[in-house]
Amino acid sequence: MTAGTPEHADTKSIGEDITSSELLAIHSARALAGRRVVFAGHGLPTLATSLAQRTVAPEIEIVYESGVTGARPPDLPRTISDSVLVPGAASVIPMTHLFNYVLQGQRIDVGFLGAAQVDRYGSLNSTLIGEDWEHPDSRLPGSGGAIEAMAGAAEIFLVMRRHTPRTFVEELDFVTSPSPHRSAQSDVGVMPAGAGVTHVITDLGIMTRFAQDEELTLTAVHPGVDPAEVVRQTGWNLHVVPDIETTQPPTAEELALLRETLDPSRVYLR
């Protein structure tokens, strides 16, 4: 610590060698502290859930869309349908059971997802970018099971690799997985069972919301990030809590687990 406050010195040393994806995985894992039944989506949620199992949530029961529950993979699953998830798992159920009884049956505490775009109430787009639904500028993967995770899980956590006005938008190009706020505006179909998106972890900070008509609010920024910058990088008029916190930097233990044990070939830590 040669200059500035100790906090400033820490921030600087962290910023030099921690990648954005490591930061996202670590804060995503921490958000799962004490959670029990977690549906892990593809990508960073898979890595974050595995990290949480080894740190803040040893009792976690990880559920994958492929039908695997209680996974304790000895090797890093490269996808949610990696056969390495099966040996040592508590169960492998058919996808009919997974979708009907586990997701639609409201057995999931937290669904952990990613998306291409999110709006202020936590509706998600993973379908397309562009104005014309029939001929979009970019066709994205689509729902997969995201619609059912949003509809059935008690809460959704969202991890977004890049916090920009193009990803945090006033209006989605396509509402794939609707927030409860959005669902309430329709009079057809069953209302979502849970609260929708309650936590969003980005490369700039953390946002939360809890009630149906509550907007995502910035509650924490990562060390060295100015809250005003997060507001500029958000496509709607983002509310910031007055007593905003700074996230605690990753620990040496978390970094070692990620880099040496969980993802040494950097499948997700790209």
Partner 1 sequence: MDKTMSLSEAISTHLNDGDTVALEGFGHLVPVAAAHEIIRQQFSNLTLARMSCDVIVDQLLGANCLTGLIAAFVANSSAGSLYELRRRIEHSDPEPLWFDEYSHGGMVARYQAGASKLPFQPIASYRGSDLAQKNPRIRSVDDPFGGPPIYVVPALNPDLTVIHAQRADSAGNVQAWGMLGIQTEAAFAGRRLIVTVEEIVDESIIRSDPNRTIVPSHVVDAVVEVPRGAHPHAVQGYYDRDDAFSRDWSALARDAEAVKSWLQTNIHDTADHEEFLALLGADHFDHLGIRDAYSTPVNYGGRG
Q: Which residues are catalytic?
A: 65
φ, ψ dihedrals at 93, nearest 5°: -110, 155
Nearer to partner 1, 196 or 250 (CB): 196
CA distance 183 to 263: 38
Whole-number minimum distance, CB 80 to partner 1, in Å?
A: 8
User: Which CB, 67 or 249, lies closer to partner 1?
Assistant: 67
- Window 99 to 138, contacts with partner 1 (CB under 8 A): 99-100, 103-104, 123, 127, 133, 135-138
Among 4, 34, 87, 264, binds partner 1 (CB under 8 A): 87
In the range 50-69, which residues lie near partner 1 by CB under 8 A? 65-68
Closest CA to 126 of 95, 100, 148: 148
Q: Which is nearer to partner 1, 13 or 91 (CB)?
A: 91
State how far the Cα of 104 lies from the Cα of 221, in Å rounded to an integer. 34
The distance of closest approach from Cβ of residue 197 to partner 1 in the complex, given in angstroms and rounded to an integer, is 14
Whether the CB-CB separation of 152 and 37 falls below 8 Å is answered with no
**183's tokens:** 């669902």
Closest to partner 1 by CB, 75 or 253: 75
The answer to whether residue 174 forms part of the interface with partner 1 (CB under 8 A) is: yes
Q: How many CB atoms neighbour CB 177 within 10 A?
A: 31
Q: Give me the least distance between CB of 225 and partner 1, in Å please.
A: 29
**How many other C-beta atoms lie within 10 A of the C-beta of residue 24?**
24
Tokens 């740190």 sit at which residue? 55
Q: Which of residues 204-243 bind partner 1 (CB under 8 A)?
A: none
Q: What is the DSSP string of 175-213?
A: -SB--HHHHTT--SSPPPSS--EEEEE-SSEEEE--STT
Residue (83 or 251) nearer to partner 1, CB = 83
Site for partner 1 in 144-173 (CB under 8 A): 144-148, 150-152
Taking the C-alpha atoms of residue 70 and residue 91, their distance in angstroms, rounded to an integer, is 7
CB 139, min distance to partner 1, A? 5
Q: How far is the CB of 259 from partner 1 (least distance, A)?
A: 20
- Alpha carbon distance 145, 66 (integer Å): 10
Site residues (CB under 8 A) for partner 1?
42-43, 65-68, 78-83, 85-88, 92-96, 99-100, 103-104, 123, 127, 133, 135-148, 150-152, 174-179, 182-193
